[in-house]
């Protein structure tokens, strides 16, 4: 049976969860993205921007933010990792009349670069961008859940994933100790795997970046 792969970044690397059509599932982690994407899969979804602008906001981010709020970061740009610090980046953007970037986006700039170095228009045939909060919003009948950092929000997300076949997730959340994988990182990777298996919907129009990458978010 084909595997469907979901990936999310964490402090020391990447965590991947996989599931197949029968419900067999597992997870893995690595310091590098490429090893995990070498795992057998029919489709993969990654919680990281794919397709980057040099200025302004991506349409897909703006549309997703309207649906699920500020969990969607705005301002993903290809040159962000070239600056020495966030202040220098924002000074550069604002001097040319552009909008700055948030701390959250600045903190994932190296992960963005790793994805950007790996991805190509051809690889987008089977590897797409997803956003866990959009996925959970869709799985919950297009309803917003409690904050994912709250006990209620965490249980809501685990329950939705259990219903989709990730029955071992509660045990995994205990096994992750000592790996550096955050609780939310593993939950989000599972959500992306569900999207890889089931998603037929996306936000974003026909927006293409200078490298020919589609800018769209699957859920």
pLDDT tens, position by position, for the chain (219 residues)?
789 999 999 999 999 999 999 999 999 999 999 999 999 999 999 999 999 999 999 999 999 999 999 999 999 999 999 999 999 999 999 999 999 999 999 999 999 999 999 999 999 999 999 999 999 999 999 999 999 999 999 999 999 999 999 999 999 999 999 999 999 999 999 999 999 999 999 999 889 999 999 999 999
Nearest to 116 by CA among 13, 211, 4, 7: 211
The residues, any chain, with a CB within 8 Å of residue 41's CB and separated by 6 or more, are 2, 3, 4, 5, 18, 126, 196
Return the beta strands (E) in the chain as ranges.
3-10, 13-20, 25-30, 43-46, 127-129, 202-203, 217-218
Q: What is the pLDDT of residue 1?
A: 76
Whether 34 contacts 218, CB under 8 Å: no
In a domain, 80, yes or no: no
Return the beta strands (E) in 31-158 as ranges.
43-46, 127-129
Query: Which residues constitute the domain of residue 133?
Result: 3-50+122-202
Tokens for 68? 């699920």
In a domain, 63, yes or no: no
Tokens for 183? 């609780």
In a domain, 15, yes or no: yes
SS3 83: coil
Whether 204 contacts 60, CB under 8 Å: yes
Q: State the Cα–Cα distance between residues 175 and 95, nearest whole angstrom.
A: 48
In a domain, 176, yes or no: yes
> Taken in order 73, 74, 78, 79, is the CA torsion positive or negative?
negative
SS3 179: coil
In a domain, 184, yes or no: yes
Q: What is the pLDDT of residue 205?
A: 81
Whether 176 contacts 189, CB under 8 Å: no
User: What's the half-sphere exposure (Cβ side, CA atoms, 13 Å) at 198?
Assistant: 18
Q: How many domains does the chain have?
A: 1
Q: What is the pLDDT of residue 212?
A: 97
In a domain, 130, yes or no: yes
In a domain, 190, yes or no: yes
In a domain, 151, yes or no: yes
- Count, in order, helices (H) and strands (E) of the chain: 9, 7
| Total-model pTM | 0.97
Task: Write the DSSP symbol of residue 9.
Answer: E
The residues, any chain, with a CB within 8 Å of residue 37's CB and separated by 6 or more, are 5, 7, 44, 118, 127
Q: What is the pLDDT of residue 120?
A: 98
């Amino acid at each position: 049976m084909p595997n469907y792969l979901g990936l999310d970044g964490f402090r020391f690397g990447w965590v991947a969860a996989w599931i197949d059509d029968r419900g067999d599932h597992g997870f893995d982690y690595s310091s590098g993205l490429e090893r995990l994407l070498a795992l057998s899969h029919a489709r993969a979804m990654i919680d990281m921007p794919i397709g980057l602008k040099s200025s302004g906001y991506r349409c897909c981010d703006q549309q997703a933010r309207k649906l699920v709020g500020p969990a969607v970061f705005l301002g993903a740009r290809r040159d962000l990792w070239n600056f020495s610090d966030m202040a220098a980046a924002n000074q550069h953007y604002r001097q040319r009349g552009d909008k700055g970037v948030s701390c959250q986006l600045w903190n994932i700039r190296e992960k963005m670069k790793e994805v950007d170095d790996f991805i190509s228009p051809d690889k987008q045939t089977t590897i797409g961008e997803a956003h866990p909060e959009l996925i959970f919003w869709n799985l919950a009948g297009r309803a917003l859940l409690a904050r994912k950092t709250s006990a209620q929000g965490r249980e809501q997300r685990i329950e939705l994933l259990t219903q989709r076949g990730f029955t071992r997730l509660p045990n995994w959340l205990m096994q992750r100790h000592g790996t550096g994988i955050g609780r939310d990182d593993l939950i989000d990777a599972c959500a992306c795997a569900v999207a890889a298996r089931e998603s037929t919907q996306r936000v974003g129009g026909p927006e293409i970046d200078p490298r020919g990458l589609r800018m769209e978010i699957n859920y």
